[in-house]
Structure 1
Amino acid sequence: MPSKQEAVILAIQNALAAHPALVMREEVLPQECPPEGLINILDEDAVEVGYQLGSKVREWQRGIELEIVVFSLDVNELPDLIDAASTTAVELLMTGDYGDLITSIQIGAPQGADDIPMSDAVYLRGASIPATLFFETSDNPMETYT
């Protein structure tokens, strides 16, 4: 059974699985962009932000970044494609069914990516969307018990 921290990221991957783009996690970008585009989930370590006295509930936040890349031979379509891919990814994040894993998600403003380390970069457009996941647990997800 995955830890609460791992379960949170797996839930994000599951929510994004409905996106038409290839969804990856913490992977090196492939040499070529798939025709449907791709989303790479980059996650940070969780940070404890609070503790509820008496209930032993710990409040955590964890940053993630969605690297989104789209491909089109018609470079004039690229701005619309990256906007659509980004909007769909945010909608999937905000409407995902996380059960009791995530209490809230805060989405940041997308940032354009000018330098995409893939072949045929002229036919690619990228964006990075930061997000912060908030969750609660009664234990410290950074500690491992043996």
Structure 2
Amino acid sequence: MPTRRETILAALHARLSALPAVVLRGDVLPERVPAAGLLILRDGEPGEPEVTLSPLRYHYQHRAEIEVVVQGSARDAAFDTLCASIGATIAADRTLGGLCDWVEAEAPRPVDLAVDGAASLKASVIPVVLHYTLIDPLG
């Protein structure tokens, strides 16, 4: 049975998979970027929890990351559309079906990356903060 942390990350991945881009989880950047763009969800870092007693609870602000990569002549527009789609997907269900207390994405910091013999890439990492509570730090 998966842990609650894994269930939350899988739910975020499932929500992102509804977008037109190819969505991977924890994979390496492939040799070719699909025309619709590419998203790679990284599990990130749960960080140090705040702890409350009686009952014992661990409150996390887990920082996952979504790598966004687009390529082609219209990469600026494609990047903007893809980032807006990620924002709309997160805003549509900020609790991931009740699994989290709150989910919030931070602003991207895009960079252009030159590729020898091909159109350059536009890429960014979008941090996503997942607020959730566990009864066990390993759960």
SS of the counterpart of 2:130?
strand
The answer as to 2:86 corresponding to 1:89 is yes
1:113 to 93, 101, 111: 111
Question: 1:116–1:38: structure 2 CA closer, same or farther, 3 Å change rule?
Answer: farther
Task: Quote the residue 1:62 is aligned against.
Answer: 62
Give the C-alpha shift of residue 12 in structure 1.
0.6
Instruction: Tell me: CA distance 1:23–1:55, structure 2 relative to 1, closer, same or farther (3 Å).
Output: same
* Letter of the structure 2 residue corresponding to residue 39 of structure 1: L
Residues 37, 78 of structure 2: 8 Å contact kept: no
TM-score (norm. length: structure 1): 0.83
Q: 1:50 to 1:118 in 2, by over 3 A?
A: farther
Q: Which runs of 5+ in 2 are unaligned?
A: none
Partner of 2:44: 44
Amino acid at match of 1:133: L
Counterpart contact for 1:82–1:127, Cα < 8 Å: no
CA gap 1:57/1:89 in 2 versus in 1, 3 angstroms: same
Contact 2:22 2:39 in 1 (8 A): yes
The more displaced of 82-91 and 111-120 is 111-120
Q: Which runs of 5+ in 1 are unaligned?
A: none
Aligned to 2:75: 78
TM value normalised by structure 2: 0.87
Structure 2 counterpart of 1:103, which letter?
A: D
1:30/1:118 contact within 8 Å kept: no
What is the RMSD of the two structures over their aligned residues, measured on CA atoms? 2.1
The counterpart of 1:130, out of the listed 115, 127, 137, is: 127
| Native 8 Å contact 1:4 1:141 kept in 2 | no
Q: Which deviations, in whole Å up to 9, do the C-alpha atoms of 1:110-141 show, x marking residues without a partner?
A: 1112226797242x322221121110111112
Find the aligned partners of 1:102 and 1:28 in 2 and give their Cα distance.
27
Separation in 1 of the partners of 2:117 and 2:33? Answer: 8
Aligned 8 A contact 1:64 1:131 in 2: yes
Distance 1:141 1:20, change over 3 A: same
